[in-house]
Amino acid sequence: MEHIKHCNPQVASAKRANNSFTLIELLVVIAIIAILAAVIITSTGSARQQARDARRTQDLDALATALEVYYSDHKAYPTGNIGPGSSSSDQGFCIEKATGTGKFQNLLTQGNYLSTIPKDPLYQDVSDPDYCYWYQTKDNGQKFKLFAKAEKDNFEPAQKDGGLYANYYESYSINSGSNQIAFTGGGSGGGGSFGSLLPCGYYSVQDAEGNVYPTVQIGTQCWLKENMNIGTMIQGTSNQGTNCSSAASIQKYCYGNNSTNCDTYGGLYQWDQAMCGTTTSLKGICPTGWHIPTDAEYKTLEINLGCSTAEVDNTGWRCDGVGTQLKPDDGSGFEGLLAGYRDTDSSFYYLSSYGYFWSSTESSASSACWRKLYSGNSTVGRSTDNKAFGFSVRCLKD
């Protein structure tokens, strides 16, 4: 039988079209494949993060167990300058870099507490690693804490470990209070300070005397959240010196000549003492890596909190609403304590009513710029005063 053939070209074309994909159908299929691939890749990446985070908890728990055995033998956890370089365990350091005779890794392996020291799964042997295992001690080696950064924001063990930081897994000694050991920024750790591993606000900073200050991020700036309280108290009847060769050589006033006020509000400093007698460096009495803010940097703070650029250069009371934000428990985290001041007549005035904060900017040979907060105002005061007044000092990260 003879096969019937389509003699109409349009009919034949239509039949061929019914047996193939149109351009739109092809694009839809490609899009579906791309979506499925993205889902698979995302799922795989998330699973790998979860696996690495799980390994971190296992590593830190193994380290913690070895440290408890070490404590049983030595009546203290590894302590002292056992980190990379001269890093102290009280300041904290990156374990991966603590190699060599007498260092952290050597103490545990040579004593057969661990055969090998674990490394963070993403650790890279560079000067500023994003991931490493951090070790820190307190109370002369009677407490320790281990920190590891979790990749997943919702990593449950990090959120429920009883420590201070929801995005870090923390394993700590069995002694009471060990879970409350906070990051301090004093140690370089051979791999960057704590500030290179945590964002501002998640770590604290230690001064040369051992006082610890929390931090807060405000706009583009990282501030200490408390007034400086370093130095030896002297009576308000005496002028302070300019010596900063040691923490003990720094002199401070405590409001009303009462040392407990320094514990609460921080010290009060004459400008020359705050600046350590020099204008060539802004560090002054601040911890290493921090400095006394300039007048311009205080303006930046105020603009970050809503002060207009047209108003920020004014003197007197200005920047309505910003003063409220800078005071304790009012939103910005600056926590500007109203510590009063020490006058040039040797008396103290306005505790809990006013707070005065030196800047590092001079206005003349005998005066410098400051900021002022008042309990009854929502604004910020900006002016200058005699350097012999005793004001509070805040520090800004370099």
pLDDT in tens, 159-216: 888 888 878 899 999 988 888 887 765 443 333 445 555 678 877 888 989 898 989 9
* C-alpha–C-alpha distance, residues 386 and 351, integer Å: 19
Dig out the tokens for 7 from the structure. 């003699």
The average pLDDT across 75-86 equals: 90
Measured in degrees and rounded to the nearest 5, phi and psi for residue 362 equal -80, 150
- Provide the sign of the torsion angle of the four alpha carbons 46, 52, 56, 62, taken in this order: positive
Residue with tokens 């923390």: 170
3 state SS of 297: helix
CA-based Rg of the chain, rounded to a whole angstrom? 30
Write the CB contacts of 356 (distance below 8 Å, at least 6 apart in sequence).
339, 340, 341, 370, 371, 372, 385, 389, 391, 392
Instruction: Determine the Cα angle at 136 with ends 133 and 142, to 5°.
Output: 135
Please give the distance of CA 312 from its chain centroid, rounded to a whole number: 28
**How many percent of the chain have pLDDT more than 90?**
62
* C-alpha–C-alpha distance, residues 171 and 162, integer Å: 9
Residue with tokens 């105020």: 302
Residue range 8-23, pLDDT digits in tens: 444 444 444 455 668 8
Length of the chain measured in residues: 398
Q: What is the pLDDT of residue 128?
A: 45
Global pTM reads: 0.65
Dig out the tokens for 315 from the structure. 């003197």
Please determine, for residue 219, whether its predicted confidence score (pLDDT) is greater than 90: yes
Residue range 90-143, pLDDT digits in tens: 888 889 889 999 999 999 999 899 999 999 998 875 544 568 899 999 999 999
* C-alpha–C-alpha distance, residues 183 and 373, integer Å: 30
As a whole number, the mean pLDDT across the chain is 87
The arrangement of strands across the sheet holding 221-224 comes to: 204-206, 212-218, 221-224, 396-397, 290-291
The average pLDDT across 291-298 equals: 98
Among candidate residues 99, 97, 102, 285, the one with its CA nearest the CA of residue 193:
97
Among candidate residues 141, 225, 245, the one with its CA nearest the CA of residue 185:
225
Lowest mean pLDDT among 44-53, 223-232, 312-321, 322-331: 44-53
Task: State the DSSP H helix or E strand holding residue 94, giving kind and residue range, or none if neither.
Answer: strand 93-94
| CB-CB contact of 358 with 252 (8 Å) | no
